[in-house]
Structure 1
Amino acid sequence: MKYEVPVPNAEWVFHSGAVFDGRRLVPGASAVAVSGGVVTAVGSDDELRAWSGPSTQAIDLAGRLVSPGFTDAHVHAAYAGVERLGCDLAELSGARACLDRIREHAALPPEPGNDAGWITGGGWYKGDFPGGYPGTDLLDAVVPDRPVYLINRDHHSAWVNSRALELAGITASTPDPADGRIERHADGTPSGTLHEGAMELLARVLPEVTDAQLEAGILHAQDHLFSVGVTGWQEAILGHYGGYPDASAAYRSLAAAGKLTARASGALWIPRSTTVETVPALVESLLERRKLNDAAGFSTRSAKIMVDGVPENCTAAMLEDYLRPCACAGPEPSGERGLLYLSSEVLHAVSAALDAAGFDLHMHVIGDRAVRTGLDAVAAARSANPGSAGRHHMAHLQIIHPDDVARFAALDVTVNAQALWACNDDQMTELTVPLLGPERAAWQYPFAGLAAAGARLAMGSDWPVSSPDPWQAIHVAVNRAHPDYPDAPALLPDQAISLQAAMAAYTSGSAWLNRSPGGSLVPGAPADLAVHSANPFDLPRQALSSLRVDLAMVAGSPVFDRAAAASASPLQRIPSA
């Protein structure tokens, strides 16, 4: 099959491979031509040979796949970049490796402006520590004299040492905030882990994260995302959260300077302190921020609402009690059923107002009660605003009551999946399932059921919560098993989706959700593309995690070239017809 836009002598021709256009593997297509930053033709090698001229840069795919660049629909690029430039624990495995890295970092001199000598960073994994939450004793043993604040991979908890607690004035008499919890010893003294809103108790004493640091972090993250084929993303929180300031100014600066070369957008944070009375003023302020960001070339049409927390610390909102005791309290008292950070009344009011103002709702939902409450809020917003074109979506979606699966398609709510989590790893088997029990554990990440019911699918990584490499997430979406746990049984294998569906979700699905022009390889589309190390449709599905990205482009310009990084050999050319 051949599609054309008549542009002679293409700047680039990718040939002798396979083509995924964002929705399907194109039958008979083996080549793609690019000129002027857009795709100009897709077809067979013979059909596209006429597009080659003396100046054409020809890339021999040698059977590899070319696809649209991936779009990450939920990522914290600013946080990830800053943390990678600090005390980075994200790539480590095991408590000992974490402690060794922290000790090494503590040997470095504090950065300018860090008068108290804070050690900050993050990326530790709950599954590496008994019970999921490490204590001050471990940190005190390696850093006794400097304060330490390390966010865990899911960004719902922070690990601190005694010096940090001392500087913040957190003691046995410090009450838990309404939207969080302090882990404590039996006598009430803080044990070293702070959950959700309790992380904010350190905000006043933490060293400031400057705009310059945020800019450096975003650029560092951009390079890393390009290396895994991600050419566009949505920054999932733009606001003050977890000790970080709003990164909007850093994004504006980079966009205006032409340094933000990815197709990045952002979601403006809805504070947990929002009330019905403050909704009108909040929406007006968001509109002003959106206008300011738009003027700099950075789109922020989404609004991020964190509906609940996560099950491992009992803050995910559940319809029924957790099976183990946990201490949770919030604006809607619910015994042992987790937290709703906004009451149903507030969630309905802010969702309807945001929808009316042209914002796409981006909801964090984990527990089945959060899912149902969020869907109810979208239903109310759709009813209040007939003809709404909001591209509303829910991220994470871990536990969905079967009665709510069909509601996603009915309400046109996109499933923003973090597929890498849909597996049996240490966190799932040791921390999550014991709290849920077998019935609710069988409702986790029902991707196939949602797709069969007609729901739209998009994908994201939630990096630095988990790897930003889409091939790792696609592997799990297709296998329901993580490559690092080869002996673990698949998690609900009937909820696996096809490779085509997973790739479509991570390309055209996420690009549509982000209102990005990328996500497809058809004539006239931006030449945002990725060349992969093999054709995944020819591989056993158990080998998908082995794939790498060899080349990535944005608007026809290379932003990552694995071969060029390894050697300076020039690109080969093919003769023109």
Structure 2
Amino acid sequence: MAGAGGALLLRRARLTPLGGGEPAGVPGAGTDSPGRIVDLRVDGGLVVAVSAGPLRPRAGETVVDADGGALLPGLHDHHVHLLSAAAAASSVPAGPPRVSDAAGLRAALRAAPGAGAHGWVRAVGYHPSVAGDLDRHGLDVLVADRPVRLQHRGGALWVLNSAALRLAGVEACPLPGVERDAAGHPTGRLWRMDDWLRRAAAIPRVPVDLAALGRAAAARGVTGFTDATPGRSDAERRLLVEASRTGALPQRLTLMRPEPAAHGPPATDRGGIPAGERVRDGAVKLILDDDRLPDLDTLTARIAAAHHGGAPVAVHCVTRVQLILTLTALALAGHRRGDRIEHAAVVPPELRDMLRAGGLTVVTQPNFIAERGDRYLADITDEDPAALYPAASLARAGVRLAAGTDAPFGDPDPWRAIRAATDRRTAGGVVLGGGERLAAPAALALFLGTPTDPARPRAVRPGAPADLCLLDRPLAAALADPSAAHVRRTFIAGVPVAATPGE
């Protein structure tokens, strides 16, 4: 292990430029270059020297022979939900591919270990293809004698059975997210109510192992996360900051902020634990849903309030109407550097110029084509499934582009997203939108951006933080078959946080 200062010498590492952007290596290298073999020195958490000739080891320095493997900036997942991802590891999988029908769902729920005095079951990843559009009564048919809460794979909807509704006290909850029948009784379907569910005293907390999450991500070469969770509580922020401070979660963190008008001062002023050098505050997260869209004046005012508070906005847009409304409101409020569109599942061609002119960054999820593409083909009728989650058309139009996995609502492995961006192939083998495929270097670059400016690539160069991903082979060979299995070592501030077993 490297010492606290990250004193490290990497020998015979290959720095390779990425076509279509700044080189991920020596400045000035041609984009067609196979890369250069260099020695690289790290001290105090920074890259301090890159040399084409051999560097002599210093006392106390950790020496690693890269053996010609590609050296990249560490991957950054630009859209993830950390606590939900950690909680998912302690939850019951309730949807494809693990569960595909009602019988399988019933068996999974009934076999689940219970939490708390009443044996609560928490299930995630549900899709209606399994057992239809469940409500309390449909869930009661599957499990009636234990309280069950089940989350749809999109994250916006929880379904509770009758036992869970009774224990949680949903009947008396006045929030508009409680769906009710004609008689005024809860249907069991709760929309955008994660914050309320977290505070409900009767619902036991699910264990979250952030250290395990961090280790798994480091093994994939991930050195940073942008947590995009809306309405994060003070307690949750403290948990993430503390995990960073202790090293349990070694990655650098960018935490999106709640809206200042609705939640008080920015997160940097709250929570009792200051953000350290590995935790910073990001954009203000704005959530839009088609069934309760704000009017144009209201959304414009929300954006202006965030900008006035000194923060850009990150707006959740998964439909055509959400994107049109957002771009119009941004044009009225004025753009701020760092403004982002999250997901951008649907981008009509006539809106590309507005995205480019506004300097907006689209943070997309190419992994959804691989993970959900077959369902899109079966379920989507109001849009062309082949045009969902566009990438190449945006890049050709000059739109700034980056990516996140949206874990746990998507697979947390960015290398699977890189593969999906290059082949646009569904799990069933259908190529969905072949014209939106990216070249492999451009797909990789989606995860190599600066956390606060995701489309601006980072480079391995003197003065840069030594957050590094070392592969076991040259970059071209790795990108011919994108896989986390090619990650040999991961360094954060020059300190190894993951290595191939046996090294």
The interval holding the TM-score normalised by the smaller chain is 0.7 to 0.9
The alignment partner of 2:149 has SS state of: strand
In structure 2, stretches of 5+ residues that fail to align are 1-5, 26-32
Superposed CA deviations along residues 313-361 of structure 1, whole A, max 9, x for unmatched, are: xxxx3xxxxxxxxxxx43xxxxxxxxx2x33222111111211221121
Question: Runs (4+) of structure 1 moved beyond 6 Å?
Answer: 174-177, 186-191, 198-201
Are the counterparts in 2 of residues 13 and 56 from structure 1 also a CA contact under 8 Å? no
Instruction: Look up the match of 1:167.
Output: 167
The alignment partner of 2:146 has SS state of: coil
Alignment CA distance shift 1:395-1:290 (3 Å): farther
Instruction: Look up the match of 2:499.
Output: 561
Would you say 1:379 and 2:331 are equivalent positions?
yes
The aligned amino acid for 1:523 is P
Are the counterparts in 2 of residues 34 and 527 from structure 1 also a CA contact under 8 Å? no
Alignment CA distance shift 1:268-1:200 (3 Å): closer
Would you say 1:85 and 2:90 are equivalent positions?
yes
Pairing of 1:117-516 with structure 2 (within 5 A): 117-122=119-124, 124-126=125-127, 128-131=129-132, 133-134=133-134, 139-140=139-140, 143-168=143-168, 178=176, 181=179, 194=189, 196-197=191-192, 205=200, 207=202, 216-237=208-229, 239=231, 247-270=236-259, 281-282=261-262, 284-286=264-266, 289=269, 294-295=274-275, 298-308=279-289, 317=290, 329-330=291-292, 340=293, 342-382=294-334, 388=336, 390-423=337-370, 425-431=373-379, 433-434=380-381, 436-438=382-384, 441=385, 443-482=387-426, 484-486=427-429, 488=430, 490-510=431-451, 512-513=453-454
Are the counterparts in 1 of residues 364 and 401 from structure 2 also a CA contact under 8 Å? yes
The aligned amino acid for 2:10 is V
Alignment CA distance shift 1:459-1:251 (3 Å): same
> What RMSD in Å do the two structures reach over aligned CA positions?
3.7
Instruction: Look up the match of 2:28.
Output: none
Q: Point out the more displaced range, 491-500 or 283-292.
A: 283-292
Superposed CA deviations along residues 514-573 of structure 1, whole A, max 9, x for unmatched, are: 99xx943112211111123544523675x325754232110000111232xxx3xxx5xx
Alignment CA distance shift 1:513-1:10 (3 Å): same
Shift of 1:167: 3.4
Are the counterparts in 2 of residues 149 and 164 from structure 1 also a CA contact under 8 Å? yes
The aligned amino acid for 1:496 is R
Superposed CA deviations along residues 467-493 of structure 1, whole A, max 9, x for unmatched, are: 1111111111111114x332x2x1111
2:482 to 510, 535, 544: 544
**Under a length normalisation based on structure 2, what TM-score does the superposition of the two structures give?**
0.83
The aligned amino acid for 1:522 is R
Superposed CA deviations along residues 77-130 of structure 1, whole A, max 9, x for unmatched, are: 111112213445587353455544433323x5x3xxx343322242x2416515
Pairing of 1:8-157 with structure 2 (within 5 A): 11-15=8-12, 17=14, 19=16, 23-24=22-23, 26=25, 27=33, 28-36=35-43, 37-42=45-50, 47-52=52-57, 57-87=62-92, 92-95=98-101, 98-106=105-113, 108=114, 110=115, 114-122=116-124, 124-126=125-127, 128-131=129-132, 133-134=133-134, 139-140=139-140, 143-157=143-157
Shift of 1:155: 0.8
**Under a length normalisation based on structure 1, what TM-score does the superposition of the two structures give?**
0.73
Are the counterparts in 1 of residues 402 and 455 from structure 2 also a CA contact under 8 Å? no
Whole-Å separation in 1 of the counterparts to 2:374 and 2:185? 28
The alignment partner of 1:559 has SS state of: strand
Are the counterparts in 1 of residues 210 and 248 from structure 2 also a CA contact under 8 Å? no
Alignment CA distance shift 1:461-1:246 (3 Å): farther
Whole-Å separation in 1 of the counterparts to 2:469 and 2:59? 24
The alignment partner of 2:118 has SS state of: coil
Are the counterparts in 2 of residues 69 and 231 from structure 1 also a CA contact under 8 Å? yes
Whole-Å separation in 2 of the counterparts to 1:491 and 1:10? 46
Shift of 1:58: 4.3
The aligned amino acid for 1:268 is R
Whole-Å separation in 2 of the counterparts to 1:231 and 1:209? 31
The alignment partner of 1:145 has SS state of: coil
Alignment CA distance shift 1:233-1:526 (3 Å): same
Are the counterparts in 2 of residues 32 and 48 from structure 1 also a CA contact under 8 Å? yes
Alignment CA distance shift 1:257-1:546 (3 Å): closer
Superposed CA deviations along residues 37-62 of structure 1, whole A, max 9, x for unmatched, are: 2223445xxx2423445765444444
Shift of 1:256: 4.2
Whole-Å separation in 2 of the counterparts to 1:102 and 1:534? 43
Shift of 1:204: 6.3
Whole-Å separation in 2 of the counterparts to 1:379 and 1:283? 25
Whole-Å separation in 2 of the counterparts to 1:127 and 1:548? 36
Are the counterparts in 1 of residues 158 and 190 from structure 2 also a CA contact under 8 Å? yes
Alignment CA distance shift 1:553-1:287 (3 Å): closer
Whole-Å separation in 1 of the counterparts to 2:322 and 2:23? 33
Alignment CA distance shift 1:551-1:128 (3 Å): farther
The alignment partner of 1:422 has SS state of: helix
Are the counterparts in 2 of residues 92 and 98 from structure 1 also a CA contact under 8 Å? no
The aligned amino acid for 2:240 is Y
Would you say 1:522 and 2:461 are equivalent positions?
yes
Q: Point out the more displaced range, 199-208 or 27-36.
A: 199-208
Alignment CA distance shift 1:224-1:363 (3 Å): same
Whole-Å separation in 2 of the counterparts to 1:250 and 1:52? 39
The aligned amino acid for 1:247 is E
Whole-Å separation in 2 of the counterparts to 1:293 and 1:31? 41
Aligned residues: 483
Alignment CA distance shift 1:235-1:540 (3 Å): closer
Shift of 1:205: 4.5
Whole-Å separation in 1 of the counterparts to 2:477 and 2:469? 17
Shift of 1:63: 4.8
Q: Point out the more displaced range, 157-166 or 395-404.
A: 157-166
Instruction: Look up the match of 2:29.
Output: none
Alignment CA distance shift 1:496-1:350 (3 Å): same
The alignment partner of 1:239 has SS state of: coil
In structure 1, stretches of 5+ residues that fail to align are 1-8, 271-278, 309-316, 318-328, 331-339, 572-577
